Structure 1
Amino acid sequence: MRLIRILFMVIVVVALGLVGLVMLLPGEKIARLAADQVKAMTGRDLVFEGEVGISWYPVLGVSTGPVTLSNADWSTGGAMFQAESAAIGVDVMSALSGNIRITRIEAVAPDVLLEKAADGRVNWALVPAGDAPDDEGAKAAGPARQVSLELLSIRKARVRYVDHGGDRFEVADLDLDLRWPGVDQPAEIAVTARPAGKDVEIAATVGRLDDLLAGAVSSLGATIKAAGGRVDFDGRVGMAPEAAGRVVADLPDSAAFLRALGLEAGLTGRARMEGEVTLTRAQTLSLRKGIVTALGNTVNAEADVALGGKRPKVTANIVAGKLNLDAMMGGGADSGTTAPADGWSKAPIDTSALGLVDGRVVFGAEAIDLGGIDIGRTRAVVEIDNARAVATLKELAAYEGAVQGTFVANGRSGFSVRGDLSMRQIALKGLLGATAGLNRFTGKADMTMDFLGAGGSVQAIMDSLQGSGNVAVGRGTIEGIDLDKLFRGDPTGGTTVFDQMSASWTIDKGVMKNDDLLMELPKVIARGKGSVGLGKRRIDYTLTPQLRREDGKGLAVPVKVEGRWDNPRITPDMDAVLKQNLAEERKALEEEATKRVEEELGIVKEEGQSTEDAVKKRLEDEAKKGLLKLLGQD
């Protein structure tokens, strides 16, 4: 018993001595020791400012004022880490057993700068390459220490990311909690970010945090929640950065979710995306088996995005069934930008999307509704380069016919559109009704056209249009006027049936002009000329049908079409009828009367002499003869 008491007293004395030693050791000394250890392991300077406090049992703790960790030697951006204050707590008993049990790490208002150099180096690689022990060294060193972290707590953090060869961003007012029970246990991470003033919550479970921090790959399950929806990821990640796994985004209110992330709300309503996503160390993002549902449409997509350049470069293949793009064309709810009756919308066109990416997208759909313009089976290729998009229509079925050609949208300097299209056997009534509100024409048309317009709104583009085109139509009709009835004296209503029609046009400053319209009917031939104001949506055109005669002098009745093109006035020009046809009849009567006068008077005209002068001379001669006879000189 005496021996036991002596051993107990020795242990107590030693323990009290150790406690006294810890209590007598100044906090600044502990801070210097920690700084020296960080310097030895990373080559970075860890600087504590102000008073350093210490607690000893049961938690060995250090609390500091401002603390700074220097950046990599190649960086010129300032400290990698700085905070207003920090605190660290370590379990003493675990430390005595050779393990490291960190009870808490706290940082207030830390400012973290993460940088990636143009050559690929990153400033968060704190342990230089080659310093990690190899497997043999680790075995020689004995059993690995057990490491655990009860709580890492960061409040009001700012994180800046700078890629000196690419993008940069900043997240402020960030809160983070990390719990890591042991080196062989999953780590739980909870982050609250406020990029647009509203909470965005991120919850993640890292399978092997030690592997992840050492540069290896670890399993990761993560969820992002914000107003309007959530995004889930289940896969593997690395610090390179690299990742592979399945992503499911379910957004009942996509606009609210995007706004919470500080992004432009390019979507509205419910949206959902799922697929297999891979991010490689070479900064290539891939999507496979992608299914995207948005704006009431579902598409299947596969894509590769190269993130390393000035802009992401996209190579994608998108396939859809029937698409309804009415919402994207300004349909649906009133947006306050409805076009006036005599023009088009003056709302500014947002062309920023053209400059977001470069690349090539192959697109296919079975049908597309463009807000009243119905398109059938479509195959197209869209190529985007430096804010200029070129869409090549390989196949487009529309209004019983087919369309091919190119369409260009250029946002490099202002905004302009250009088209070069060829249409075959297009039903005029459907096409003109959907695009111009004209429902009077029927028939199948072959058409070619090119156009160029520039401006910041649809109205400005329509007012600036330049271009040309031609059209040829087989058998068709014009509703609202019957040319046969018109020639019988009835100018009201009816339908004109024609055998063929052709025309060409030019467009200058938004006004389309035509002077060679030719329409052939069994008993009538019609010609037309005039102008159509594409910007003002008005028409001023004259169609002149004429009865067929071999000498080409049949009765002609001009018909004026004028006013708003969706409801024009169609009236026969009776003044022109009278002037034209009475002038011809009067000329014929005058010629007949003159001929009879000449015959009755026996007038023989000299060369170049008019009938009037010949009659006058004949009268003068007769009067002269009568006078001489009267004077007895005959």
Structure 2
Amino acid sequence: MPKFVRYSLIVIVLIIAGLLVAPFFIDVNTYKTQIEQTVEDSTGRKLSIGNINASLFPWIGIELDNVHLANREGFTDRDFLSVQKLNVKLALLPLLSKNIEIKNFEINEPKIYLERQENGESNWGDLVSAQTASTESGDNEPADKQTDAAPALAALQAESLSLTGGEVVWVDGKAEPVTLADLNVGLTDVQLERPVAVKLSGKLSGNAFELDANVGPLGDLSKLDPVALPIQGHVKADNIQLAPFKALISGWPEQLGDINSASVGLNANIEQRPDGIRLGEGSVVLNSRIGLAVNWKIEMSKADQLKVSRAGLIVNGKDILEVKGSVKNLSANPAFQLRIDSQPLTRSWLAEFVPDLNSMYAGHPSAWKQIEIGTLVAGDAKQLEIRDMQLKLDNELVQVSGAVVYGVPDIRLRIAARDLHMDPWLPQGKEEPQGQTPAAGAGGGAQQASAAEPDLRFLKPWRVTAKMQAATLFLRGMEMRNFNVSINGSNGRFDLNPLSFKLSGGNVKEKASLDASVYPAKWKESVHITDVKVGPLLKALADMDMLEGTLSMDTSFRATGLTEAGVKTLNGRGNLMLRNGKIKGIDIPDTIRKFTNPAAASAGPNETDFAQLSGSFVVKNGIANNQDLFMASPLLRVTGKGLVNLVSKTLDYHVEPRVVGTLIGQGDSSPVRKGLTVPLHITGPFASPKVRPEISAKTLIQNAPALLNKGKMGGALGNILGGKKGAQAAPADQPASQPEQPVTPEKKILKGLGGMIPGF
């Protein structure tokens, strides 16, 4: 053997022997105090190390036991950081060529305690500020050392890196602590040329979770791009209780029940490819009073672009919504385009989550049954654009398009429908029995709330531009064809201009405005009606069945308040013309006939036909005053005046019908009563008005020419006027000497009629 080789082997043996025996002669614990003091000088916190062990061959190893770093002064008296055991073993020979080959890197039972006080101070803030100050002062590693670090990491290899039994405790003010316990992290076969297996598991406030993934290969670390780093993994957390996090959750909905009994489950697959494409698929489940689940499948072809292949919402096991689309510019100004489709949702099913739906429609004879929506929406952080919304209301299609600007808000909508029945969607609660007052907090609360005057001042900053068209709109018994309405609003004022539709053979045009900037809200409107059959209109608007005929009308009203109480503030004026109709509940010819022939029976229905009825009116504080009523029919000419109280829904009206034809066929035996005028007083509620003649001596005298004829009534009246009949002798008990009072013709008439018209 050559001497060179022999001497080389001897040197190597001596070095190995020295490395093996050195730890027995060098006590590394002598450096423990120096290490502890250096850390305390740098952080202001006490560091204690239980024991240090070292080895030099075949591995360079160091082992630290019972390491404790104290908490920041002024915080809880417990360790900020503690490690039961830290063990690092490095291969010796690769270090000679500046390669780091780790046999094992092991951390046992590390515990970290993170605390933030109510004033915002944290127990790690001083460490961060110290590091920042060191960086700002230029106290950094030299550039050549930073450069040398890259080749060393490039040759990094490790059989295993592990953390076992870890614990992280997070305390935020007075909130309940959140604990991440039983934390285990394992990396196997760590190198740069093949994928690295990563396993992570633990318990978050007692709830287990786990992650299995393959990361890499890492390749050239100097060219490492995290966005293109290959990753495949699976995350699973079956049951994470929300109670420990309730202080961090604001606005927890009451419908979801008690947050202390709620939990979340997560199951997801994630993938990132070398070309930057990222994929995700999985589901999140909320277990609460209402079971909610969201499942998704997404793809990110670029760092700032997201494609939603599927996102579905499931409520109590029922599929509700499905969303598809894309989101761009995630890092700057996100913009989205999404297709949203719902399943048919029934009112009975929705009432499980919105119980008020039951009371709102409890008294409705035929309330709506289901709703369904499908829409394409697009927008960004500033606005939402509705490009095509298909809204099915009980299988009636409503199409909506427009946009909503969030900040103002500014709403622009166009709504179109073919046939649309609105009555099923108008709330109608259950009526309480008459005389029964609902107890406070009981079922009557909904009625009281519905009668309360709404405060609309929140609408003041809104801007609204809306148009609606419907081929036929059905509302409160009205069939409105060619329905069109435009609404424009800003600064609390909303104008309806115009509203137009065809109704009962005629046309209706309306202009209206609402001032929502004050409370109560104020409104005004003007209506122009031509050739509309008035019966269905009055039934729909005021639940009145008093008139029939063809109506033309112009009105202008204003009032304060939107509830029935606001009728007291109603003011305005109008005029109307009715043709070829009838007044129901009032039979003027029958009243006249009974005046002339009290014994006659009623001849027909309780109504009065007319060819024309016209008049104008002024409304003041809910009371309409008319002074120029005129009605014409082949038999009668009627004039009238009086009051219509819209607050109490009662009449106080005086009419004077004058006979211009014959009552033959109306139950009268006299061929002609021309000129006969019988004033009538109409009083009482709209539903059942009462009519009585206003008879006085003056009335009878004025009607004497019409009453004086060859019939029985005329003869009697003639005898009275002539003094031949109807005069009676003085009673026997009346003194004969009493002077006789003069009798006027009026008194003679009244006295004579007293025995001839029953009840007069």
Q: Which interval holds the TM-score relative to the shorter structure?
A: 0.5 to 0.7
- TM-score scaled by structure 2? 0.56
**Deviation at residue 533 of structure 1 after TM alignment:** 2.0
Work out which of the residue numbers 272, 275, 280 in structure 2 matches 1:183: 272
How has the CA–CA distance of structure 1 residues 244 and 95 changed in structure 2, closer, same or farther, with 3 Å as cutoff? farther
Write the distance in 2 (CA, Å) between the matches of 1:262 and 1:496: 50
Consecutive unaligned residues of structure 2, counting only runs of 5 or more, are 1-55, 62-87, 91-101, 115-123, 136-158, 207-219, 254-258, 362-367, 436-446, 662-673, 709-717, 723-741, 743-760
The question of whether the paired residues in 1 share the 8 Å contact of 2:651 and 2:682 is answered with yes
Query: Which residue is 1:303 aligned to?
Result: 402
Question: Which range moved further: 432-441 or 88-97?
Answer: 88-97
Query: Which residue is 1:580 aligned to?
Result: 699
Question: Which range moved further: 508-517 or 176-185?
Answer: 176-185
The question of whether the paired residues in 1 share the 8 Å contact of 2:471 and 2:483 is answered with yes
Question: Which range moved further: 15-24 or 420-429?
Answer: 15-24
Correspondence 1:582-601 to 2 at 5 A: 582=701
Write the distance in 1 (CA, Å) between the matches of 2:552 and 2:89: 103
Query: Which residue is 1:22 aligned to?
Result: 105
Q: Can you list the C-alpha shifts for 1:286-344, whole angstroms capped at 9, x where unaligned?
A: 2223111135532011121112x143x2211111111111133345xx5337999xxxx
Q: Secondary structure of 2:297's partner?
A: strand
Correspondence 1:204-603 to 2 at 5 A: 204-208=296-300, 211=302, 214-227=303-316, 230-238=320-328, 239=330, 240-253=333-346, 257=350, 260=353, 269-280=369-380, 282-294=381-393, 297-307=396-406, 309-311=407-409, 313-331=410-428, 334-336=429-431, 347-348=450-451, 351=454, 355=458, 358-385=463-490, 388-412=493-517, 413-455=519-561, 457-458=563-564, 460-481=565-586, 483-484=588-589, 486-488=591-593, 489=596, 492=602, 493-494=604-605, 495-547=607-659, 554-569=675-690, 571-573=691-693, 575-576=695-696, 578-582=697-701
- TM-score scaled by structure 1? 0.66
Write the distance in 2 (CA, Å) between the matches of 1:179 and 1:271: 32
Correspondence 1:101-112 to 2 at 5 A: 102-104=198-200, 108=204
Q: Secondary structure of 2:451's partner?
A: coil
Q: Secondary structure of 2:642's partner?
A: strand
Consecutive unaligned residues of structure 1, counting only runs of 5 or more, are 1-9, 44-55, 70-77, 111-136, 162-167, 594-611, 613-634
Write the letter of the residue equivalent to 1:17: K
Q: Secondary structure of 1:526's partner?
A: strand
Write the distance in 2 (CA, Å) between the matches of 1:584 and 1:315: 67
Correspondence 1:69-88 to 2 at 5 A: 83-85=178-180
Query: Which residue is 1:606 aligned to?
Result: none
Write the letter of the residue equivalent to 2:614: S
Higher-Rg member (1/2): 2
Query: Which residue is 2:18 aligned to?
Result: none
Write the distance in 2 (CA, Å) between the matches of 1:106 and 1:359: 53
Query: Which residue is 2:293 aligned to?
Result: 201
Write the letter of the residue equivalent to 1:508: K
Query: Which residue is 1:64 aligned to?
Result: 167
**Deviation at residue 544 of structure 1 after TM alignment:** 1.4
Write the distance in 2 (CA, Å) between the matches of 1:263 and 1:180: 40
Write the distance in 1 (CA, Å) between the matches of 2:57 and 2:307: 44
**Deviation at residue 87 of structure 1 after TM alignment:** 7.2
Q: Can you list the C-alpha shifts for 1:114-168, whole angstroms capped at 9, x where unaligned?
A: xxxxxxxxxxxxxxxxxxxxxxx9994489432244216465256989xxxxxx9
**Deviation at residue 20 of structure 1 after TM alignment:** 7.8
Write the distance in 2 (CA, Å) between the matches of 1:444 and 1:453: 27
CA RMSD of aligned residues (A): 4.8
How has the CA–CA distance of structure 1 residues 183 and 192 changed in structure 2, closer, same or farther, with 3 Å as cutoff? same
**Deviation at residue 527 of structure 1 after TM alignment:** 1.0
**Deviation at residue 247 of structure 1 after TM alignment:** 0.7
Q: Secondary structure of 2:657's partner?
A: strand
How has the CA–CA distance of structure 1 residues 26 and 193 changed in structure 2, closer, same or farther, with 3 Å as cutoff? closer
**Deviation at residue 28 of structure 1 after TM alignment:** 6.5
Correspondence 1:85-100 to 2 at 5 A: 85=180, 90-93=185-188, 95-97=190-192, 99=195
Write the letter of the residue equivalent to 1:510: G
User: Number of residue pairs matched?
Assistant: 504
The question of whether the paired residues in 2 share the 8 Å contact of 1:354 and 1:389 is answered with no
The question of whether the paired residues in 2 share the 8 Å contact of 1:158 and 1:174 is answered with no
Write the distance in 1 (CA, Å) between the matches of 2:601 and 2:515: 49
Q: Secondary structure of 1:536's partner?
A: coil
The question of whether the paired residues in 2 share the 8 Å contact of 1:327 and 1:371 is answered with no
**Deviation at residue 378 of structure 1 after TM alignment:** 0.3
Write the distance in 1 (CA, Å) between the matches of 2:386 and 2:202: 38
How has the CA–CA distance of structure 1 residues 498 and 436 changed in structure 2, closer, same or farther, with 3 Å as cutoff? same
How has the CA–CA distance of structure 1 residues 501 and 170 changed in structure 2, closer, same or farther, with 3 Å as cutoff? same
How has the CA–CA distance of structure 1 residues 484 and 141 changed in structure 2, closer, same or farther, with 3 Å as cutoff? closer
How has the CA–CA distance of structure 1 residues 296 and 180 changed in structure 2, closer, same or farther, with 3 Å as cutoff? closer
Q: Secondary structure of 1:376's partner?
A: strand
